[in-house]
Amino acid sequence: MITIGMLIATVSVSYVPALLGACLFFLCVLWWCGISLREIAKRYLLIVPFALGALVLLPFSTEGEPMFAVLGLVGSAEGVHQSLVLFLKISAANFLLTYLLVTTPQFELLKQLRALGVPELLVSIMQMMLRYFYLLIEEVRSMVKAQRARGLRLERWLWSRLVLRRFGQMMGALFARSYSRSAKIYFAMAARGGVRQGGVQEVGVQHGVVQQVGANSGGHTNRRGVAKMAIAVRNVSFYYGEYQALRNVSFELPRGSKTALLGSNGAGKSTLISLLNGLEVPSMGEVALFDEPLTKESRALAHRRVGVVYQDPDDQIFSPTVEEDVAFGPRNLGLSEAEVDERVERALASVGLREFRGRSPFELSYGQKRRVAIAGVLAMQPEVIIMDEPMAFLDPHGRAELQALLESLHLMGLTIMIATHDIDFACEWTERVIILQNGAVYADDTVDVLFDETLLAGAKLPLPRLVQPFRLLGDEASGVKPRSVREAAQWIWRLMMRRQADGQTANNDKEEHG
């Protein structure tokens, strides 16, 4: 609080000696706190563009007594004074911010800004800028590492035209990748209520139930009692311009069910997820959540009831600490800080990350990031959770942990849909399978559909690996449908016993006819 107050006071002063003294004082404080001159210089370089603008432009753009001339442009004494004042303010502010960022956890800094009454929009912008900064660092590190692995040498790079060209190409790729990533982060924020859509505004929260008011209608409740179906998709089609991504899709998900959504790339899985979460609305047809049709006016309610966990957790995590990221959704619901803290505690406990709440999520492993993303969705207390490729890039231990977590969430009564290419995981975990092909429902049945070799071939999907060896045994094992390693082992034992019994019978027959 004291540092922020000093920052506000510093930028309010225009007396040059006072500003110069403040800069020297803050610089001494940084050195006394053990912050290296190199670290101070690195952060100070961030203000070079602003300092150059202040020094170069203001003297020539401010009216007053002429002081000097350069290339026919006249600089005024008043302009020089304003330039110096602005430069010193920027320098002092930079030193103070350096002190804050080095000595204060970013989460606490944002919390203090909220306590001072800084508008939430400005705090959110600062939060996104921090996320973007970390994003650029991550992208640069991964790209440099990949290029060095392919022979890039950075020694004496100032004298190498080839390295300079590679550096330019890398910067262009970095911009394209960061732009694409920022778009995904935006959609992840919207999925957790961070972006108001369709004129919907949250007007209150009572006992954890969000009351919504549409742009053209009053609030409504479900008059049909408890809905049997969590989701109902009826004759839905969706277009991106002229391209039809979904074609007359229809299915229903009962409450408490667990479903696998399968399909090759481009089949329409991602588009369908966006429709179920209210990020998009159908071009034709209807999506209903718990018997309530989803419209442009009511789709913000979908963010409360349907949580989405995206494939890459880095697309969904954008806050400086685990606790802050998990709290993002509940704060958008308008809950009190006490209720937010309670939800954060419960969500982190559910995924086994309670001790990581103060850590930066960007320092965690991929599997831990995935659990942070899940906790952020759980804190919204949704009734349906949709996960996009949850097993992607996880090691065997991480896959086992996540599968156990999914099972515990299902036992809690949540309706779960998994969009995946992993047919082995789907075979072991799911109760129901929906297969999309070319934007249409190709199959909608029990898990037994994953043992139909002809149907899977038509959908360009392989048989589960545990089934393939049994198919090679011919008719003897044609009805074998193992869903787990345990079941496969049991079937192997049965077949062995059957062959042993058949062999014993054959030997007995030979002895009788011998």
Total Cβ atoms within 10 A of residue 255: 16
Q: How far apart (Å, rounded) are the C-alpha atoms in residues 306 and 329?
A: 12
pLDDT at 201 over 60: no
Give the homologous superfamily in CATH for domain 227-458: P-loop containing nucleotide triphosphate hydrolases (3.40.50.300)
Give the pLDDT of residue 445. 93
Across the range 354-376, mean pLDDT stands at 86
For 338-353, write each residue's pLDDT tens digit: 999 999 999 998 888 8
Per-residue confidence at 216, pLDDT binned at 50, 70, 90? very low
Give the pLDDT of residue 232. 93
Strand order in the sheet with 243-254: 243-254, 229-240, 284-289, 292-293
Cβ-based neighbours of 29, under 8 Å, separated by 6 or more = 95, 99
How far from each other are the two terminal CA atoms of the chain, in whole angstroms?
Answer: 101
The predicted model scores a pTM of 0.64
Per-residue confidence at 33, pLDDT binned at 50, 70, 90? confident
Q: Which two tokens stand for residue 209?
A: 């139930």
| Selection from 109-118, 360-369, 502-511 with the highest mean pLDDT | 360-369
Per-residue confidence at 200, pLDDT binned at 50, 70, 90? very low
- Residue 58 and residue 75 in contact, taking contact as beta carbons nearer than 8 Å: no
Sort strands 73-76 and 201-206 into parallel, antiparallel or unpaired.
Answer: unpaired
For 108-142, write each residue's pLDDT tens digit: 666 666 666 666 666 666 666 666 666 666 667 76
- Residue 266 and residue 440 in contact, taking contact as beta carbons nearer than 8 Å: no
Total Cβ atoms within 10 A of residue 33: 11
The rounded mean pLDDT for the chain is 78
Across the range 279-285, mean pLDDT stands at 89
Cβ-based neighbours of 101, under 8 Å, separated by 6 or more = 43, 109
Across the range 235-254, mean pLDDT stands at 93
Side-chain half-sphere of 234: how many Cα atoms within 13 Å? 11
Query: What's the Rg (C-alpha) of the chain?
Result: 30
* Domain boundary assignment for the chain: 2-104, 123-191, 227-458, 466-514
The values of phi and psi at residue 309, to 5°, are -110, 115
For 404-459, write each residue's pLDDT tens digit: 888 888 888 899 999 998 899 999 999 899 999 999 999 999 999 999 989 998 88
- Beta-strand ranges (E) seen in 333-462 are 384-388, 415-419, 432-437, 440-446
Q: How far apart (Å, rounded) are the C-alpha atoms in residues 437 and 284?
A: 19
What DSSP string runs through 138-184? HHHHHHHHHHHHTT---TTGGG-HHHHHHHHHHHHHHHHHHHHHHHH
Sort strands 440-446 and 432-437 into parallel, antiparallel or unpaired.
Answer: antiparallel
Q: How far apart (Å, rounded) are the C-alpha atoms in residues 10 and 107?
A: 24
